[in-house]
Structure 1
Amino acid sequence: MATDLTPPGADPTRIHNIGYRKYDGQRLGRSYARRSLYSQSLRGAYGLGRSAKSKVLPMILFGVMVLVAAIIVAVAVAAPAGTMTKLPLSYTAFAITLQPVIGLYLASQAPQTVSRDLRFKTVPLYFSRPIERRDYVLAKYGAMASALFVLTAVPLVVLYAGALLAEFDFGAQTKGFGQGLVSVALLSVLFAGLGLVMAALTPRRGFGVAAVIALFTISYGAVSTVQVIAYSQEATDAISWLGLFSPATLIDGVQTAFLGASSAYPGGYGPGAGAGVVHLLVVLALIAGSYAVLMRRYRKVGL
């Protein structure tokens, strides 16, 4: 039986000094929190700051991209003088050709960027700080787009350096390099948005990986197959419009219409000016739509 040892008439209230002190330091606010989340997410996309096994796949895929560029450079440099005046693979064609590698990278890292936060209920921890829903979405979106840009732009730098080493025309190579950078920047923003949307729909990383692979691989394969069929049936006018139904072919259409690239469509039947405008509008609509869907997704889960 408990005994009350408080003397009669005494105040039972106790104040315990457990050592907490008032924080008097600088309060860095939302912008600092947003930048921190962006940098942490970007580092995480390459496994930096995570376990060793988390670094393996993104670093291997990055290495594959750079290795392919290095092989192209080696071929150009080793060719006898005068037999080659340009790179075997153009700057704008590089990312389209290696789209499967880019898709695999995105499938592995987009779920890591957003699905884990949903699965382990860590998102509310971000919002206990001075950060809002749009800050979270912008930081994650920006980090994934930046990671893809690094993946695709660094090989272009290797190609450019190799072209100058092979003494190809400086003006032509610089122009092509600039066009390639614009192309991969647009590709990075589009792919990042679509990949994050697919990954954010489920907290299960495996489902997110499968969804991203299905979106990019199946759509590209299906569109390319139908384009080949249209080419074989001499329905060449339909080839460029079919490119609207796959992310990779959308980028191919935009760079063909506006960046002077050679189309990878069957027979080289890329979009003209009118169809190119439609391709560009669809790309911009998908980017804006991806952001809107991500905002709605995090509003739906109560954040």
Structure 2
Amino acid sequence: MSTQTPQPNQAAPDTTQIHNIGYRSYDGPRLGRAYARRSLFSQSLRGAYGLGRSAKSKVLPMILFAVMCIPALVIVAVAVVTKQSKLSIEYTEYAVFLQLVISIYLASQAPQSVSRDLRFRTVPLYFSRPIERADYVLAKYGAMASALFILTASPLLILWIGSMLAKMDFAEQTKMFAQGLVSVVLLSLLFGGIGLVMAALTPRRGFGVAAVIAVLTVSYGAVTTLMGIALATDNAGAMQWLGLFSPMTLFIGVQTAFLGAPSAFPDGVGAPGAGVGVIYLLVVLALIAGSYGILMRRYRKVGL
């Protein structure tokens, strides 16, 4: 038996094959940064109410939305049945009375909006073309503020529709409704910025929730306690300055000074007038601008 030994210079058979797996270049329209920014805004706004997410994610925001609207429905029903000449609550007071619901909503949804991107390190993927850091921050800030506006303005709309059904004065109710809308726009921008800053400081959602609750709820409790002490010790003049140290009292002071809202300070004492109200407004605007600036700085670092 003889065996055939391959020669050293004998070439191996060519088995190379080229497979066409269907890749081809994209030749459609380039939608650019504006489209990407709008898409991120829409996705973030929908996510703030659990839309496009799991059924479990919808439960809390929808419950809180219902809790915000149910008192307005009850007030409207009573006004229509008893033929009241005015609503039992003013439009500018509604958000103050339900501030705990607003705080819980913000504490639950602000970390959901930004903490997951930080935790799973997907932020640099956003900053690849075409979106930039300013687009990301604007989309997230705008979505959070819009979600809060929907939460706070919907019951005001219910109140206004109910006042029309009860045949209250159209001009007066519309004016008060407009004042209420202005107040909740301011609240949405202020609280939305603060909530996102607190949530963006940590990738841990639990820490973000605790931080938002502490800044909004604990600060309000501390400031109102100090206001009560000032009132009890005949230092009512100090109350209007104490209000500068809590987001909610800042909001209350601005709408009391400029939107004709009744004072929500202890016993209605110490509410800022127009002069001090200007300081309140400047502090609120500074906090809104500062929140945006802090977010830009934060995402300048994590996007590297």
State the distance in 1 between where 2:9 and 2:258 align: 85
Secondary structure in structure 2 of the residue aligned to 1:153: helix
Residue aligning to 2:45: 42
Corresponding position: 1:21 with 2:24: yes
8 Å contact kept, 2:123–2:303: no
Instruction: Summarize the Cα distance change of 1:6–1:136 in structure 2 as closer, same or farther, 3 Å threshold.
Output: farther
Residue aligning to 2:79: 76
8 Å contact kept, 2:253–2:271: yes
After TM superposition, give the deviation of residue 15 of structure 1 in Å: 5.9
Residue aligning to 1:127: 127
State the distance in 1 between where 2:81 and 2:261 align: 25
TM-score computed with the length of structure 1 as normaliser = 0.93
Residue aligning to 2:281: 280
State the distance in 2 between where 1:230 and 1:236 align: 6
After TM superposition, give the deviation of residue 163 of structure 1 in Å: 1.1
State the distance in 2 between where 1:7 and 1:278 align: 91
8 Å contact kept, 1:256–1:262: yes
Residue aligning to 2:302: 301
Residue aligning to 1:166: 166
Residue aligning to 1:93: 93
8 Å contact kept, 2:45–2:143: yes
8 Å contact kept, 1:254–1:280: yes
TM-score computed with the length of structure 2 as normaliser = 0.93
Aligned residues: 297
State the distance in 2 between where 1:149 and 1:108 align: 16
State the distance in 2 between where 1:231 and 1:7 align: 103
After TM superposition, give the deviation of residue 241 of structure 1 in Å: 1.2
State the distance in 2 between where 1:26 and 1:9 align: 48
Aligned-residue sequence identity (percent) comes to 72
Question: Which protein has the larger Cα radius of gyration, Structure 1 or Structure 2?
Answer: 2
Q: Which runs of 5+ in 2 are unaligned?
A: 1-5
How is 1:202-241 mapped onto 2 (pairs within 5 angstroms)?
202-241=202-241
After superposition, the C-alpha distances for 1:247-293 in whole angstroms (9 at most, x for unaligned) are 11111100011111111012323101111000000000000000010
Residue aligning to 1:289: 290
State the distance in 2 between where 1:129 and 1:67 align: 44
Residue aligning to 1:148: 148
Instruction: Give the CA RMSD over aligned residues.
Output: 2.1
After TM superposition, give the deviation of residue 160 of structure 1 in Å: 0.4
Corresponding position: 1:54 with 2:57: yes
Instruction: Summarize the Cα distance change of 1:93–1:8 in structure 2 as closer, same or farther, 3 Å threshold.
Output: same
State the distance in 1 between where 2:35 and 2:14 align: 46
After TM superposition, give the deviation of residue 191 of structure 1 in Å: 0.2
State the distance in 1 between where 2:34 and 2:164 align: 41
Q: Which runs of 5+ in 1 are unaligned?
A: none
